[in-house]
Amino acid sequence: MAEFFGLCTNEAVKLWCKRRFLITIALAVCLSVLISWAMYHESNNNRQMNNPQTQIQNLQDGVQSETASLSNSHLTAASKQQIQQSIQQMKQQIAVLQAQVAHPQDGMAALTASIQNERQQLASAVTDPSTRSSLELELALNEYRQAHHLSLDQSGTQTSWGAIKNYMDGALTLLLPLLIVVLTADIVSGESSDGTIKLLLVRPQSRARILLAKYITVLWASAIVVLTALLTVGIFSALVYGFKGASDPIAVGVHFIQTKQITDGIVSYMPIPDLAHMSILPQWLFTLDAAALCWVACAVVATITFLLSVLFRSVSATMGVAIGLLIAGTIVVGISAGGGTSKWIVPLFFTHLNLVESWTGQLSRTVPTTFGLSLIVLGAWILVSIGVAWRVFTRKDILA
Amino acid sequence: MRTTSTVSPLSLEGICKSLGGREIVKDLSFELKPGEVFGFLGPNGAGKTTTIRMIAGLIFPTKGRITIMGHDITRERTQAMRHVGAIVENPELYKFLTGRQNLDQSARLIGGIYDDPAHGRQEQGGGDGKVTTLTSPRRGVSKQRIEQVIDIVGLHDRIKDKVSKYSLGMRQRLGIAQALLNRPSLLILDEPTNGLDPSGIRELRELMRKLAYEEGTAVFVSSHLLSEIEMMCDRVAIIDQGRVVAIENVDSIAEQEIPEVLMTISAGMLEATTETLVGIIEACEGVTAVRLNHDLEGAASLTSNNKTPLWRVTVSTSAENIPALIRHLVTEGIDVHGVQQHKITLEEHFLAVTGGVSVG
């Protein structure tokens, strides 16, 4: 065991001294800051657009320009009437918004009102299953808020937790996997191309042990890269959005069932949420679990890259094939997803890389899968990759 | 000197290797004795590197059995490799690590690094004739041993530098240092003098001799330089087209004499033609053949020495007959300017057994 720890130490020393690890970490930090900044910029824009003051200003501008157009003498009486109607509507909206600004609604009162409204609607004859499920989901979240004495925030401002979740959704299918590929690609192929693999294999260590030490190194290094990326986003978000919203509810385990619908003679598929296995978590707990899922997804990418690194003797071939797979995967999923009928993409690993969305259930909107199925598929990929890598590495002739 | 154990440090039995449908090594068998320096010689593509890779466990033989200190390298790989120190082709080291970090890597692969304050004493106590006294009781390498191998190869001043800044010769030294870390019973050196300067080569030769004679290490060394093998090795295996064509003691090859004498003669007072000179020599008792040495253009090799033309002739006769031959020539009026006994060199022997393929 102490001997095996020595092998892991060797790998850690090499990883560190080769600078590849540091470069990957630096890349993770820089790109995460860039993405966080873009998200912050976007949420600022949205908030400005939704601000009542801005809306009032926009509506007043509209009233002015419409009034000006009334003076045009070529207008027919009918169109004049139309314009006057729209002016009237805008003025009413301005009045409503001004009332809101003057007497801001209390969050708790809004929550109670919202729950009442949802219950009423559910009790009434809402028959559309899609609308019903959405209402039930909304009600469940609101009841959770009520039980935990949380108010309903209607301002639509971003929270740190929401920002981290957005980042995970965006980065988990491509950015983080690419970083993992950069980190992992040379772990075996680098030794093959430099000829240093001979140093490793003429020593009293079995090839399987050498390989295992390398694999363990790849796993913990991937964990550090993922953690660094998420912490970067977390720290950035905490600085710009603050810490509120940690106990806000989020639903996981919603499963969308594709239902055939025929409207006006056109057949379409409609994802209808099934809440049977749904559970509601506070945001902070969700974020921790989701971070672990990010690592699992990256471990899958690391394992497959690791296999490629065993198969190819050059680092660039390993990296090229791995990156090619990821990008092609993104395209394939993009083309095939939707409609939820493309069953053939289910066994592919890149379909399930967004494990966080698979967990919440959003993935089942576009791909016919469940969280359990995603875990099984990814687990199978890991086992097969390890098996093939082990078999090839312990038997191949080292000719480099 | 260490008492030699009876187990052969390295033995190959009927080793065959095919790669991509081509048979590269065919039925190779030989055995090393403890404490001998064994040369491995052959032209390019003869299967030298393939054989060394099989011994080092980097590629697997298609057929046959390799044992190191009695351990089959396929079935008891770990035990076998505990006795091996190796440089396969160029010493490929981690260029982004320092010399010492490279040695640490090797030490951890051997089993770990530990502190052993009694290192020096143990070293001196190795005279009771047992192999085990020189093998550390625990696995791994002591810090003191690491310092010792740095000393042996003389890399103290540069050991903290990155290997990327080393010259080829320094890399070779570091490669040798890492090969010596575990006090191997079998040291495999593939072209070890590559990149070493003449003094480095001499040091290496002395080191190999010392290891072989004082520590009983068997050294398996391949080289394309015949002269080197001749100077370093006790025995040599000559390999050609995947087969061992000869295994011989280097001394016995050097002692072999070809019954030929190279003579430089002139006609002296005689008005003699080439034919008459050859006739005079042939007339001597015990001479079986006379050959005029030709220069590149094919003319008889003549050099002018104070207007006297000199002939170079190769005379086939036994060594004992030389005095009689000289007397005969002198009485016949031929001046003898030089007599040289022709001894076979390893190179000629090599060319003879490999059928004249040049060595590279």
Query: Is B310 or A115 the better-scoring residue by pLDDT?
Result: A115
**b or e along B161-193 (b: 16 or more beta carbons within 10 Å of the residue's beta carbon)?**
ebbeebeebbbbbbbbbbbbbbbbbbbbbbbbb
Which residue(s) pair with A273 in the sheet?
A: A256
Nearest CB to B92; choose among A3, A19, A199? A199
Cα–Cα distance, A166 to A163 (Å, whole number): 5
Taking 90 as the threshold, does the pLDDT of residue A226 lie above it? yes
Q: Which residues of A touch B62 (CB under 8 A)?
A: none
Q: Are B312 and B263 in contact (CB under 8 A)?
A: yes
In angstroms, what separates the C-alpha of A175 from chain B's closest C-alpha?
28
Q: What is the pLDDT of residues B65-87, one digit of tens each?
A: 999 999 999 999 999 999 999 99
Four-point Cα dihedral A303, A304, A305, A311, nearest 10: 110
Mutation target vs B (from A202, A210, A391; most B CBs, 10 A cutoff): A202
Res. B307 pLDDT band, cuts 50 70 90: low
Give the B-side interface with A, CB within 8 Å: 19, 53, 56-60, 77-82, 84, 86, 88-90, 92-97, 101, 104-106, 108-113, 139-140, 178
Taking 80 as the threshold, does the pLDDT of residue A342 lie above it? no
Query: Is A187 or B285 the better-scoring residue by pLDDT?
Result: A187
Res. B298 pLDDT band, cuts 50 70 90: very low
**ipTM score here?**
0.82
Nearest CB to B82; choose among A13, A204, A397? A204
Cα–Cα distance, B221 to B229 (Å, whole number): 8
Q: Which residues of A touch B74 (CB under 8 A)?
A: none
Cα–Cα distance, A125 to A132 (Å, whole number): 10
- Would you give the distance in Å from CA B233 to the centre of its chain? 5
Q: Which residues of B touch A194 (CB under 8 A)?
A: 92, 94-95
Q: Which residues of A touch B97 (CB under 8 A)?
A: 13-14, 17
Res. B272 pLDDT band, cuts 50 70 90: low
* A198-218 average pLDDT score: 95
Six token digits for residue B313: 């002739």
Cα–Cα distance, B93 to B168 (Å, whole number): 11
Residue A346's CB is within 10 A of a number of other CB atoms, namely 15
* B231-238 average pLDDT score: 88
Q: Are B160 and B102 in contact (CB under 8 A)?
A: no
Cα–Cα distance, A84 to A66 (Å, whole number): 8
**Residue at token pair 């679990």:** A289
Q: Which residues of A touch B58 (CB under 8 A)?
A: 198, 201-202, 397-398
The helix or strand, by DSSP H or E, that contains position A86, with its residue range, turns out to be helix A77-102
Q: Please state whether beta strands B218-222 and B186-190 pair in parallel, antiparallel, or not at all (unpaired).
A: parallel
Q: What is the pLDDT of residues A72-85, one digit of tens each?
A: 777 788 888 888 88
Query: pTM for this one?
Result: 0.83
Mutation target vs B (from A7, A198, A210, A391; most B CBs, 10 A cutoff): A198
Nearest CB to A10; choose among B108, B111, B140? B108
Taking 90 as the threshold, does the pLDDT of residue B318 lie above it? no
Predicted confidence at residue B254, as pLDDT, reads: 62
Q: How far is CA B178 from CA A15, B108, B128, B288, in A?
A: 21, 11, 27, 57
A67-81, B94-108, B201-215, B282-296: which has the minimum mean pLDDT? Answer: B282-296
Taking 60 as the threshold, does the pLDDT of residue B121 lie above it? no
The helix or strand, by DSSP H or E, that contains position A87, with its residue range, turns out to be helix A77-102
Taking 50 as the threshold, does the pLDDT of residue A58 lie above it? yes
The helix or strand, by DSSP H or E, that contains position A114, with its residue range, turns out to be helix A107-123
Taking 70 as the threshold, does the pLDDT of residue B123 lie above it? no
Q: Which residues of A touch B112 (CB under 8 A)?
A: 2-3, 6
Cα–Cα distance, A138 to A121 (Å, whole number): 12
Four-point Cα dihedral B324, B328, B334, B338, nearest 10: 0
Predicted confidence at residue A232, as pLDDT, reads: 96
The listed range with the strongest mean pLDDT (A13-27, A258-272, A325-339) is A13-27
Mutation target vs A (from B102, B108, B110, B185; most A CBs, 10 A cutoff): B108
The helix or strand, by DSSP H or E, that contains position B263, with its residue range, turns out to be strand B257-266
Res. B126 pLDDT band, cuts 50 70 90: very low
Asked whether residue A332 is assigned to any structural domain, the reply reads yes
What contacts B281, CB < 8 A, 6 or more positions away? B287, B290, B313, B315, B325, B329
CB contact under 8 A, A6 and B89: no
Predicted confidence at residue A341, as pLDDT, reads: 65
Taking 90 as the threshold, does the pLDDT of residue A89 lie above it? no
Q: Which residues of B touch A4 (CB under 8 A)?
A: none
In angstroms, what separates the C-alpha of B59 from chain A's closest C-alpha?
4
Cα–Cα distance, A23 to A175 (Å, whole number): 15
Cα–Cα distance, A232 to A221 (Å, whole number): 16
Predicted confidence at residue B296, as pLDDT, reads: 43
CA angle B226, B231, B237 (to 5 degrees): 55
* A43-63 average pLDDT score: 84
Asked whether residue A273 is assigned to any structural domain, the reply reads yes
Q: How far is CA B150 from CA A202, A298, B181, in A?
A: 20, 42, 10
Q: How far is CA A83 from CA A207, A222, A279, in A?
A: 82, 62, 50
Q: Which residues of B touch A398 (CB under 8 A)?
A: 53, 58-59
Predicted confidence at residue A302, as pLDDT, reads: 97
Nearest CB to A201; choose among B58, B95, B139? B58
A-B contacts (CB, under 8 Å): 92
- Domains in chain B, please, with CATH? 10-254 (3.40.50.300), 257-343 (3.30.70.1340)
Q: What is the pLDDT of residues B288-297, one digit of tens each?
A: 778 777 544 4
Asked whether residue A104 is assigned to any structural domain, the reply reads no
In chain A, whose CA is at the least distance from the CA of B178? A199
Six token digits for residue A97: 């918004």
Please count the structural domains in chain A. 1
**b or e along B83-94 (b: 16 or more beta carbons within 10 Å of the residue's beta carbon)?**
bbbbbbebbbbb
Q: Are B170 and B206 in contact (CB under 8 A)?
A: no
Burial of A127 (0-12, 13-18, 19+ CB in 10 A): exposed
Query: Is A108 or B109 the better-scoring residue by pLDDT?
Result: B109
CB contact under 8 A, A198 and B112: no
Query: Is A357 or A338 the better-scoring residue by pLDDT?
Result: A357
* A87-103 average pLDDT score: 83
Share of chain A above pLDDT 70, in %: 96
The listed range with the strongest mean pLDDT (B32-36, B137-141, B249-253) is B32-36
CB contact under 8 A, A204 and B53: no
Q: Please state whether beta strands B22-31 and B257-266 pair in parallel, antiparallel, or not at all (unpaired).
A: unpaired
Share of chain B above pLDDT 70, in %: 82
Asked whether residue A200 is assigned to any structural domain, the reply reads yes
Predicted confidence at residue B137, as pLDDT, reads: 55
Asked whether residue A255 is assigned to any structural domain, the reply reads yes
Of A357, A353, A368, nearest to A297 by C-alpha is: A353
Predicted confidence at residue B303, as pLDDT, reads: 55
- How far the first Cα of chain A sits from its last, in Å, is 30
Q: What is the pLDDT of residues A283-292, one digit of tens each?
A: 999 999 999 9
Q: What is the DSSP letter of B294?
A: B
A217-221, A391-395, B54-58, B256-260: which has the minimum mean pLDDT? Answer: B256-260
Cα–Cα distance, A74 to A320 (Å, whole number): 66
Q: What is the DSSP letter of B320?
A: G
Q: Are B95 and B122 in contact (CB under 8 A)?
A: no
What contacts B359, CB < 8 A, 6 or more positions away? B41, B42, B43, B224, B226, B347, B350
Predicted confidence at residue B104, as pLDDT, reads: 96
CB contact under 8 A, B109 and A6: yes
Taking 50 as the threshold, does the pLDDT of residue B196 lie above it? yes
* B245-260 average pLDDT score: 74
Taking 70 as the threshold, does the pLDDT of residue B346 lie above it? no
* A205-224 average pLDDT score: 96
In chain B, whose CA is at the least distance from the CA of A20? B96
The whole-chain average pLDDT of chain B stands at 81
CB contact under 8 A, B110 and A203: yes
Residue A18's CB is within 10 A of a number of other CB atoms, namely 16
Predicted confidence at residue B89, as pLDDT, reads: 82
Mutation target vs A (from B54, B102, B109; most A CBs, 10 A cutoff): B109
Cα–Cα distance, A9 to B292 (Å, whole number): 71
Q: Which residues of B touch A196 (CB under 8 A)?
A: 92-94
In chain A, whose CA is at the least distance from the CA of B79? A204
Asked whether residue A168 is assigned to any structural domain, the reply reads yes
* B94-123 average pLDDT score: 85
* A185-194 average pLDDT score: 94
Query: Is A172 or A262 the better-scoring residue by pLDDT?
Result: A172
Share of chain A above pLDDT 90, in %: 53
Phi/psi region, residue A340 (left: phi>0; alpha: psi -120 to 50; beta: rest), is: left
Mutation target vs A (from B60, B94, B190; most A CBs, 10 A cutoff): B94
Asked whether residue A194 is assigned to any structural domain, the reply reads yes
- Domain residues for the domain of A45 are 2-50+159-395
Asked whether residue A140 is assigned to any structural domain, the reply reads no
The listed range with the strongest mean pLDDT (A45-49, A369-373, B1-5) is A369-373
